[in-house]
Structure formats: C-alpha cells, structure tokens
Amino acid sequence: MARILVTGGAGYIGSHACKALAAAGHTPVAYDNLVTGWEQAARFGPLERGDLTDRARLDAVFARHRPAAVMHFAALSQVGEAMGDPGRYWRNNVLGSLTLAEAALAAGCRDVVFSSTCAVYGEQDGVTLDEKSALRPVNAYGASKRAVEEILAQFGAAHGLRSVVFRYFNVAGADPEAEIGEFHRPETHLVPLILQAIDGQRPALTIHGTDYDTPDGTCIRDYVHVSDLVSAHLAGLRWLAEGRDSRVFNLGTGHGFSVRQVIDAARAVTGRDVPVTEGPRRAGDCTRLVSGSGRAEAELGWQPARSTLETMIEDAWRWHRTGGYAS
C-alpha cells in the first residue's frame, strides 16, 4: 500500500485520518508544526515536524518518504481570529498551501486531497448548499480556503496536479475507541465546550447570539462525525488513485441543528446539566449553514454512518473522560 503525507496529521481531523489510513494498510506520514497539534496524536505512522511555509523542510520530507499523495488538513481555522487578523490566515493558509503544492509537484507527487470548508459559500441562509452554490466567503478563513482551491485548480490546468476538494462545516465526535479525539488549547468548538461546562472545567457555556432568525434564536449548523469525514477523504484518495479527474464535494447531512439543540442533546446523552450564559453575536458568524452531499453519495458512495447528534456527543464524551492529551 501507499505512503500518504498528511499535513496537520497531529491535529484533530488529521490524526483521525492517519488512523483510518493505517487501518486501510497505508503508511500515514504526519507533517505538523505542533502549534495546534499534539505529538501524542501522531501515533499511527512517522511524525515529521515542520511548517508548511518551510520549502526546504518539505522537500526533505518528500525526498525521504516519497508519498503517493497528500492529504492536506493543516490550516488556521478560527473565524473570530480570522476577522481580527486576516493577514495571519492569508500567510499561513494560502502561502503554506502554495509552498506545499510546489513541493509536491517538484517531488512528482500529483494527487492532493484537500480539506476545504463550506465557509467558502459565506452567508446563504435558507438554502441547502451544494457544489454549484455561489462562492461568497465573508471572512479570511473562508476566503483563504477558497484561494487554496483556486491554487489547486490552476496547478491542475498548468501542471497536471489532480485534487479532490471537500467542503464541510462543523466536525464533531471522536474516535469510537477513544484513542484520539478533539483537544484544543484554548478550546473554541461547541461540543467540547459543552462537555467542559458539564464537568466543571469552565463555569458555563456562552451562547454567542440568541437573536438570530431561527426557531430558538441561536445559530444553526450542519454537524458531521469526524470518522465519517475521514472516510470521505479515503474515498477521495481512491478516486484519484483510479486516475479520475479533479472534483469538488460537499460533505454534510443536509440537516442543521441549533446551538440550543446541541446543548439539549448533550444533556440527554450525559445525564448532566449544562450551565449556560448568553452573550452577544460574534463577528463573522452566519445564521444558518447546512450542506448537502448528493454528489459525494452518488460518485464516491459516501454516506455518513455516525453523524447523529447523539452518537457524536457519545463518542466525544467518551474521549473527554480520558482527559485528553494533557493528562
């Protein structure tokens, strides 16, 4: 089987991809600067520490491992930070991805599976987004991912680089065996924040905005289990290995859940109360973002198997109780 370079392989999604790759018989090579990743998470193959903007380091890693393909997860991804410091997102996400693409081509590695985002669509309330929806990112995070998609497309036209791009929204859950999971410092994602509030690691969960035009006033998002997400990435890898052309896929359940609905589900799963405070809206947050996955289902045969709120929270809660990587 193949060696696959996994950028961000010590992070939340990247580490789950590495486990899935190893289970499929591949050798995942995690490439991570460990700024937001964890060395303990890179346990399913070699770990190469480095930054995406370091061309010499990338060249050395490509030469040492000769990967057949790249799975590209490494990126800054916080909307609030992107609103306040857009330059950091353009430098890291775009310049880093450009450097990666150039290094991959120089090494003769022409297959890339890219972790993009449905934030490239921006604010489009009241619709279920698909791959033909207009691209109107409203913050530097979404705009930087859109730019990377364009880099891949242009490198494809000019140099024969082939890519599968996945656009998705909120990822949740954890490895069902609780070997790895979601662990950020500081934490910014809804499900782990809820679990921290439940067990007293923080005084309360803050709901950012309760006056949105939704049934309960809170934002609505589409949630996909991390295991389902990485199964799509493996399907994308197979797509390219079979010699098929570049393609863009949305990944979602087609069903959105509000912040309050996620809180209620966590109460039901854990049997514990969730202390809550209400705060103002955050800049850059959209009201409702829901994605369809009809193309992924039809062409990749992908269907989410664990992406119910209950299962995602159950798996996240099991992982949370291990203490994470700092224990």
The model's pLDDT over 218-261, given as tens digits with 9 standing for 90+, comes to 999 999 999 999 999 999 999 999 999 999 999 999 999 999 99
Q: Which residue has the tokens 């199964």?
A: 231
Answer yes or no: are the C-beta atoms of 214 and 287 closer than 8 Å: yes
pLDDT at 284 over 80: no
User: Span 117-139, mean pLDDT?
Assistant: 88
pLDDT digits (tens, 9 = 90+) for 11-69: 999 999 999 999 999 999 999 999 989 999 999 999 999 999 999 999 999 999 999 99
Single out the residue of 297, 191, 308 nearest to residue 251, CA to CA: 297
Task: Give the DSSP letter of residue 144.
Answer: H
User: Span 287-299, mean pLDDT?
Assistant: 93
Q: How far apart are CA 133 and CA 142, in angstroms?
A: 14
Single out the residue of 6, 7, 5, 10 nearest to residue 183, CA to CA: 10
Answer yes or no: are the C-beta atoms of 104 and 114 closer than 8 Å: no
Number of C-alpha atoms within 13 angstroms, CB side, residue 181? 27
pTM of the model: 0.95
Ramachandran angles phi, psi of 170, nearest 5°: -80, 130
Q: What is the pLDDT of residue 187?
A: 87
Q: Which of 141, 168, 212, 223 is catalytic?
A: 141
User: Span 285-312, mean pLDDT?
Assistant: 94
| Fold observed for domain 190-221+254-326 | UDP-galactose 4-epimerase; domain 1 (3.90.25)
Beta-strand runs (E) in the chain: 3-7, 27-32, 47-49, 69-72, 111-115, 128-129, 162-168, 170-172, 205-208, 220-225, 247-251, 256-258, 276-279, 288-291
Answer yes or no: are the C-beta atoms of 224 and 252 closer than 8 Å: yes
Overall CATH class of domain 3-172+222-251: alpha beta
Q: What is the mean pLDDT of the chain?
A: 94
Answer yes or no: are the C-beta atoms of 182 and 316 closer than 8 Å: yes
Q: How confident is the model at residue 127 (pLDDT cuts 50, 70, 90)?
A: confident
pLDDT at 282 over 90: no
Contact partners, residue 22, CB within 8 Å, separation at least 6: 28, 44, 45
168 is catalytic: no
Name the 3-class secondary structure at 139: coil
Angle at 297 between CA 315 and CA 312, to 5 degrees: 10
Q: What is the pLDDT of residue 81?
A: 79
Q: What is the pLDDT of residue 327?
A: 53
Answer yes or no: are the C-beta atoms of 47 and 66 closer than 8 Å: no
pLDDT digits (tens, 9 = 90+) for 135-187: 999 889 999 999 999 999 999 999 999 999 999 989 999 999 999 999 988 88
Q: How far apart are CA 301 and CA 229, in angstroms?
A: 13
Ramachandran angles phi, psi of 32, nearest 5°: -155, 140
Each domain of the chain, given as residue ranges in start order, spans 3-172+222-251, 190-221+254-326
Answer yes or no: are the C-beta atoms of 172 and 121 closer than 8 Å: no
Q: What is the pLDDT of residue 123?
A: 79
Q: Are strands 205-208 and 170-172 parallel, antiparallel or unpaired?
A: unpaired
User: Span 308-326, mean pLDDT?
Assistant: 94
What distances in angstroms separate CA 65 from CA 4, 39, 92, 99, 281, one per listed residue?
9, 19, 24, 18, 46
Q: What is the pLDDT of residue 56?
A: 98
Tell me what percent of the residues of the chain surpass a pLDDT of 90.
86
The DSSP secondary structure of 156-208, one letter per residue, reads HHHH--EEEEEEE-EEE---TTSSS----SS--SHHHHHHHHHTTSSS-EEEE
